[in-house]
Chain A
């Protein structure tokens, strides 16, 4: 394989040279070898688990999912064949996600900006960060219970489903959406804050050195620099909202169909109740009422496709933005 040069040095053919020689694990300490083996097994095992979930759900989905299920509304029926489709839960998932993100994004990005760019006094910054950590660590069922207590206050009656006698049930898309924003907020906050903290200080100073104010620097330099971090945070937030069931059961009413409250077209829907794919899966699975396990599988498949598709989409957005700005060129500053 080797070629001898006129200087008597034996050279490898230039194109075929692989990576240089490395120490072989066979000579490592046995604990290191064990750790390496464990790392391999853990990584491969996770791949196998993920593949099993996707393949099994894919198999079930292909088996039971019919396009008509996506466009027909649920019917209350005891037999599986008469229970209709799950158009309403699909719409419910989309609406709830939109409300949650629309409420969470300004709060999360605003507080991340405040922490990363102002953050004074320090004690207050520490309190804000720990509060967000507390919210992040609170189980969703506790957040749901808390939300129910809040939205059942008579003061907040206009935001939710109200019985004809005046009883406030505290259930509506608004109620569920605002609690969903709480579970979407921490990942979005963290992603944005970390992105901002990764922007080198001399980028900010370069803007200050041009006579720009802090707010102009944030608008023109910092926010564009962390756009892909925000996109990542939004994906994480959306996945958490899409996957949540407790808040739906507590605060959305978990009615099979969208039930608008009042006749106003948009606010009626927002104040009304409904369900999502997660609660639909639960209700129809053998663990719930068990009325239509095949439809539960079909809906679960749709749920997985949603989340995977979303990940792909946001990944693509972040990447194309980075491309357009040259952010992912090796050696770039950001």
Chain B
């Protein structure tokens, strides 16, 4: 499959996305939002040693992506989010909007706050005692800090850099994600369809169908990572966060997972942190470039890569394809 096909296939799928997945209240809320398009973040004053380039006519690819981005409702909205670790400011007043049906890639040099920002979206930063936060994060119009953390994390799932299946069987890894806290253990028979569905969506089912009770840690790294994705999407979250999901994997597993991300965005909003600019270019609809905690640039993939507004962005992405 050529990269072009990989891109187009999910587009068609997104167009066919079932409308009933958008619940009525959320639709009402979405209607109240004035601008349905991407939120333009307040661009921070950054030293530009050159005037921004005039916007060239959008390339064909860019316009395709823009159409797609418009298709989904807004899921997450960040308003002036700042994160401090003690005296150190790791994320500085970032505003962003994340839509269903699109993949947002967070890029930037090491230590610029990508992981911190990502972990704030499901409130994992709260586990760090020194971390403090300012600003608001809205999930479907609700402040995520008003939600119980367990509820929020059921709706905003996460995949980590290291594949980290639990020391149990493949089936139980996914079933564990589906079991409610307080309720009685549902029987295996009840969970089985959901588990299989999640494994199938993660593109793993065919490889493990005969070995569902085998230990998850026996899988290869790439299979483990897809199991982690299955585990994360099994409870049908609205947003999927991924922190360098392919950095521990070989090129073939990486390709499988990139393809998977393209398919998943049909009914999810996906945020991917990546150091691999070519990967960001392949999989993302929107790109946010961070530098030393600042959100320097946020826009469609084509715009950020082809016509970056800021010099820093140009320098950073220039290294990738220059």
Contact = CB atoms under 8 A, between A and B. Distances in A.
A182 B215 CA distance: 36
B164 A200 contact: yes
A242 B269 CA distance: 60
Contact of A325 (B154, B160, B217): B217
A213 B182 CA distance: 10
A333 B163 contact: yes
B150 A207 contact: no
A213 B164 contact: no
Interface in B288-315: none
A209 B240 CA distance: 11
B124 interface: yes
A136 B160 CA distance: 39
Interface string A293-334: 000000000000000000000000000000011110101111
A28 B215 CA distance: 47
Contacts of B216: 326
A210 B157 contact: yes
A202 B160 contact: yes
Contacts of A329: 217-218
A224 B162 contact: no
A212 B124 contact: no
B166 interface: yes
B99 to A, nearest CB: 21
Interface in B146-168: 149-154, 157-158, 160-168
A333 B152 CA distance: 27
A203 B231 CA distance: 13
B2 interface: no
Contacts of B232: 209-210
Contact of A216 (B158, B161, B181): B181
Contacts of A210: 153-154, 157, 176-177, 231-232, 235
Nearest to B214: A326
B217 A211 contact: no
B1 interface: no
A333 B235 contact: no
A211 to B, nearest CB: 4
Contact of A205 (B127, B215, B231): B127
Interface residues of B, number: 34
A224 B124 contact: no
Interface in B118-166: 122, 124, 127, 149-154, 157-158, 160-166
B69 interface: no
Q: Which of A206, A220, A331 has the most CB atoms of chain B within a 10 A radius of its CB? A: A206
Contacts of B163: 333
Given A209-B153, A211-B235, A224 B166 contact: yes
B228 interface: yes
A221 interface: yes
Given A202-B160, A205-B127, A327 B217 contact: yes
B38 interface: no
Interface string A47-68: 0000000000000000000000
A329 B218 CA distance: 7
A206 B168 contact: no
A203 B167 CA distance: 10
B166 A220 contact: yes
Nearest to A334: B167
A208 B228 contact: no
A276 interface: no
B167 A211 contact: no
B38 to A, nearest CB: 26
A178 interface: no
B41 interface: no
25 contacts: A200-B164, A202-B160, A206-B228, A209-B157, A209-B158, A209-B160, A210-B153, A210-B157, A210-B232, A211-B150, A211-B152, A212-B176, A212-B181, A220-B176, A224-B166, A225-B166, A325-B168, A326-B167, A326-B216, A326-B219, A329-B218, A332-B217, A333-B162, A333-B165, A333-B217
Interface of A: 200, 202-203, 205-213, 216, 220-221, 224-225, 324-327, 329, 331-334
Interface of B: 122, 124, 127, 149-154, 157-158, 160-168, 176-177, 181, 214-219, 221, 228, 231-232, 235
Given A202-B161, A205-B158, 5 more contacts: A206-B158, A206-B160, A208-B149, A209-B157, A326-B167
